[in-house]
Structure 1
Amino acid sequence: MKRQQSGFTLVEIAIVLVIIGLLLGGVLKGQELITQAKIKNVSNDLTGITAAVYSYQDRFKSLPGDDPNGSTRWSDTDAVSATNKGNGKIDSNEQSLFWQHLRKAGFVAGEIKSGSPLNAVGGQIEPVQTALAIGGLSICTHNLPAKIAEALDVQIDDGKPNTGTVRAAVETSASVVTTAPTITGYTDDGSTLYVLCKQL
């Protein structure tokens, strides 16, 4: 008596492999779409905040946060020492006022005293004076994976983290250094995060 051996045919194995390939391709394509959406959101944040700052300056003739008339214009804005008000810079004690003034003027959405907004990957967005050796005021966005930071640098500037109007440094803490970045390229190792600053 002959026993029939059970198993899969080559056609069945081929069909399973094709299905697995399609599933993997779909997952990878989905991840790429998510990354592209995050890049677009962070880019829109930088563009929108830049436009908001210029609109504020056009309307009130000073930088948000540095506006000497901000506390009288809006009664519930936090009081900050007036020693550096109106000097054309966002000093460290004026960063919270920066967002309050933009929100009070209607240029940025959000709760008036909710602090710095977050980018698409959960990193803080903040105004920084002379960030990464960029002259003047910059908008910096934190905790960006290399793929997103590099794509933004290429899209907005020259793609090099240590030159141009967009610069980046490896994320080390919540504060941005004012010295020039020492990196010459982005490392996409899945764990290195960057802070990217765009000059206004």
Structure 2
Amino acid sequence: MKTLKKQGGFTLVEIAIVLVIVGLLLAGVLKGQELIESSRAKNLGKDMDAIAAGMISYTDRFKRTPGDDGPIGTLTARGGAWATVTAAGNNDGILTITQANTFAAGGETVGFFQHLKAAGFITGNPADAGVAALPRSAYNGLISVGPGVTGMTGISVCASQIPGKAARALDTMLDDGVTNSGNFRATLGAVGANTAPGVAVLAATGYIDTNIYTVCKTM
């Protein structure tokens, strides 16, 4: 007589249990990624607000505008971290920065960040010059200041290389959620490029998740 061997394998119940576990793990991973993205957007919003607050505090303390403050001798004479500052403005009361040089470290951009760092209002090395003087965001883009998106008034703080989801979240959190209105506006950018702010994206288009934006908020 032949002896029948019991065939090994998984039962339907065991397979179902495994699939449930895999599903729970995938859901946890996706939820974790969502929380990380939300945290990055909130951190950028805080960084932008910190720069705006730093400008107000600087003006209150020195009665001058960071970046426009000068001449250089007046700055370095303050001692301490000020001794490493290399950029100064003409002290005419106007922060001279154009849209084109917002992320190109032109005009009084470098001085703006050197002065805030030297005064202790934002973190960083006051000796950093050129593009290196500009803070980086959690999205590996640059943060800078300037006139902002076309149609905005006053000085704005801007950030480049922002994914569509994050741009939408920031606009909703800080303003009205519309790309071309209010105190927070967006310009269409490109992957890996620090696109200067320009004409706002049409409101009818809205934010698209797969797009990259330069966003600006009035200070």
TM-score, normalized by the shorter chain, greater than 0.5 = yes
How large is the RMSD of aligned CA atoms in angstroms? 1.9
* 1:80 Cα deviation from its structure 2 partner: 4.9
Structure 2 matches for 1:121-200, cutoff 5 A? 121-172=139-190, 173-178=193-198, 180-184=199-203, 185-189=206-210, 192-200=211-219
Structure 2 residue aligned with 1:86: 92
**Runs of 4+ in structure 1 over 6 Å off:** none
Residue 117 of structure 2 corresponds to residue 97 of structure 1: no
* 2:164/2:212 contact within 8 Å kept: yes
* 1:80/1:93 contact within 8 Å kept: no
* 1:71 Cα deviation from its structure 2 partner: 4.4
* 1:70 Cα deviation from its structure 2 partner: 5.5
Structure 2 matches for 1:17-166, cutoff 5 A? 17-69=19-71, 71-74=73-76, 75-80=83-88, 82=90, 85-91=91-97, 92-114=106-128, 115-166=133-184
Cα distance in 1 for residues equivalent to 2:208 and 2:148: 24
* 1:116/1:124 contact within 8 Å kept: yes
Structure 1 residue aligned with 2:79: none
* 1:170 Cα deviation from its structure 2 partner: 1.3
* 2:117/2:124 contact within 8 Å kept: yes
Matched-pair identity in %: 41
Q: Deviations over 1:131-160 (max 9, x none)?
A: 332111000011111111101100110000
Change (3 A) 1:34 1:130: closer
Gaps of 5+ in 1: none
SS of the equivalent of 1:133 reads: coil
Judge which range, 123-132 or 22-31, deviates more.
123-132
Cα distance in 1 for residues equivalent to 2:89 and 2:46: 32
Q: Deviations over 1:89-138 (max 9, x none)?
A: 23232100000000111101111133101111111000112433211100
Change (3 A) 1:40 1:177: closer
Q: Aligned pairs, how many?
A: 195
Q: Deviations over 1:1-21 (max 9, x none)?
A: 556554321111111111110
Cα distance in 2 for residues equivalent to 1:128 and 1:23: 45
* 1:100/1:113 contact within 8 Å kept: yes
| TM-score, scaled to structure 1 | 0.89
Q: Deviations over 1:10-65 (max 9, x none)?
A: 11111111111011011101101111110111011011111101001111122210
SS of the equivalent of 1:168 reads: strand
Gaps of 5+ in 2: 77-82, 98-105
Change (3 A) 1:43 1:69: same
1:14 maps to amino acid: A
| TM-score, scaled to structure 2 | 0.81
SS of the equivalent of 2:117 reads: helix
Cα distance in 2 for residues equivalent to 1:50 and 1:70: 23
2:30 maps to amino acid: L
